[in-house]
Amino acid sequence: MESVVHWTEDGTARTARWRSENEAPAPSRVVVIDDRTTAKSAYRMARNGTGLLWRGDFHNARQLLRAVDRLQSSRAEPIGDGPAELFHRHRAKRAERARVLGRLMVLLEPDHSLLLRRAPDVRAACDHAYGVATEPSCVSLTELLGVLGAHQWHLRGVPIEALGDRIHPAYGVFSPVRGEYIDLVADAPFTAGAAPSVVFDLGTGTGVLAAVLARRGAGRVIATDINPRAVACAGANMRRLGLTDRVHVLEADLWPGGRADVIVCNPPWLPAQPTSELELGIYDADSQLLHRFLDGLTDHLTPAGEGWLVLSDLAEHLGLRMRAALLARIAAAGLRVASRHDTQPRHPRATDAADPLHEARQREVTSLWRLVRDGS
């Protein structure tokens, strides 16, 4: 989201572009604060909707952010009558936390430099996230810290055991930090006993699954994504991995043309409404992407082809989707389940007893569903 922030500083009216990747609106009222501002004062103003433009020491800004976070997090955890209600209340609390913390903001110069004491050089990270700038802009400190962290992941890359190499995520593209779903695709046997000639990877993101399938010997992999950032990211990863001769990355709304022997889809796992582009890799409103994949599969498979649906059952444990409804949707699409391969999640939250959703997370199973035409 881009709009304009207005504030007065040293008796002078000033403006700057407002940047917000999570589509938070620009604050209508902004006050300038610095190292003298207490956490309680900042928290009170932020809770009331006031934007806080930081003009002090960068490290003190981070300390203030942590202190405000402690004040916000001290509010009671939500209690739900069931897992679905608990999920929605927990998500609402996280959204409120993001709104409050997002009110602490900093000013980036036209070249994306940050002129605060002890501030790091953020120009390369901001150029990576936002593109080249020509005018000053305001951004929340939480977003800027996310931009810096994402840039480090982009530079270092994420080690992928199944590739024996690294994938470099771009800002705004879902990072493949949960390795269990990658291993499912790396280990699933090909029915014909030989690598498929043509594979589709729908919603490719960083391109990690496309790369794994190409390394497994797939003749040609067509990877699609609707997000231009993901298309650029996946293309760059294929060049780094030397796979551009076999992996073709396209910007498309799910389906490319033609048919494939194997069609892989790893849709967002939770059927809830995303509130920004950054949440599109997590939430799938009304399971729309999942349903589009299932409903279009028979029209895009070769006669003996398979659809590989990679999906967590966390939504089932949260009461957001029923297993019977998923199976009914598969059958209604003219498909049947040929087999299913399961694995347990290995991410830290799966064993975090302090997580309000711990009971559901500890029962989570991630599966690769092998789907074929009914009657084949």
Can you give the pLDDT at residue 192?
A: 74
All structural domains of the chain, each given as residue ranges with its CATH number in brackets, are: 2-153 (no CATH), 157-373 (3.40.50.150)
Can you give the pLDDT at residue 211?
A: 98
Q: Is the pLDDT of residue 169 over 80?
A: yes
Residue 285 has a CB neighbour count (10 Å cut-off) of 13
Query: Mind listing the pLDDT tens digit for each residue in 186-241?
Result: 999 998 778 999 999 999 999 999 999 999 999 999 999 999 999 999 999 999 99
Is residue 289 very low, low, confident or very high in pLDDT (cuts 50, 70, 90)?
very high
Q: Is the pLDDT of residue 142 over 90?
A: yes
Non-local (6+) Cβ contacts of 319 within 8 A are 82, 83, 84, 87
Can you give the pLDDT at residue 354?
A: 72
Q: Is the pLDDT of residue 152 over 90?
A: yes
Q: Is there a contact between 138 and 156 (Cβ–Cβ < 8 Å)?
A: no
Burial tier of 222 (Cβ tally within 10 Å: 0-12, 13-18, 19+): buried
Answer whether 0.85 is exceeded by the pTM.
Answer: yes
Is residue 86 very low, low, confident or very high in pLDDT (cuts 50, 70, 90)?
confident
- Which single residue is written with the structure tokens 């951004």? 139
Q: What percent of the chain has pLDDT over 90?
A: 78
Is residue 309 very low, low, confident or very high in pLDDT (cuts 50, 70, 90)?
very high
- CA–CA separation, 365 vs 34, rounded Å? 47
Mean pLDDT score of the chain: 93
Section 313-341 average pLDDT: 95
Q: What percent of the chain has pLDDT over 70?
A: 96
Query: Mind listing the pLDDT tens digit for each residue in 18-27?
Result: 999 988 999 9
Is residue 275 very low, low, confident or very high in pLDDT (cuts 50, 70, 90)?
confident
Take residue 205 and report the two structure tokens written for it.
């993101």
Can you give the pLDDT at residue 127?
A: 97
Closest among 192, 208, 93 to 159, alpha carbons compared: 208
Is residue 77 very low, low, confident or very high in pLDDT (cuts 50, 70, 90)?
low
Query: Mind listing the pLDDT tens digit for each residue in 94-128?
Result: 899 999 999 999 999 999 999 999 999 999 999 99
Q: Is the pLDDT of residue 260 over 90?
A: yes
Can you give the pLDDT at residue 363?
A: 84
Can you give the pLDDT at residue 296?
A: 97
Can you give the pLDDT at residue 79?
A: 66
Partners of 99 in beta bridges: none
To 10 degrees, the CA torsion angle through 106, 107, 111, 115? Answer: -80
Better pLDDT: 280 or 144: 144
> What's the 3-state SS for the chain?
CEEEEEEEECCEEEEEEEECCCCCCCCCCEEEECCCCCHHHHHHHHHCCCEEEECCEHHHHHHHHHHHHHHHHCCCCCCCCCHHHHHHHHHHHHHHHHHHHCCEEEEECCCCCCCCECCCCCHHHHHHHHCCCCCCEEEEHHHHHHHHHHHHHHHHCEEECCCCEEECCCCCCCCCCCHHHHHHHHHCCCCCCCCCCEEEEECCCCCHHHHHHHHCCCCEEEEEECCHHHHHHHHHHHHHHCCCCCEEEEECCCCCCCCEEEEEECCCCECCCCCCHHHCCCECHHHHHHHHHHHHHHHHEEEEEEEEEEEECHHHHCCCCCHHHHHHHHHHCCEEEEEEEEECCCCHHHHCCCCCCHHHHCCCCEEEEEEEECCC
Can you give the pLDDT at residue 348?
A: 64
Non-local (6+) Cβ contacts of 192 within 8 A are 261, 304
Take residue 265 and report the two structure tokens written for it.
């889809």
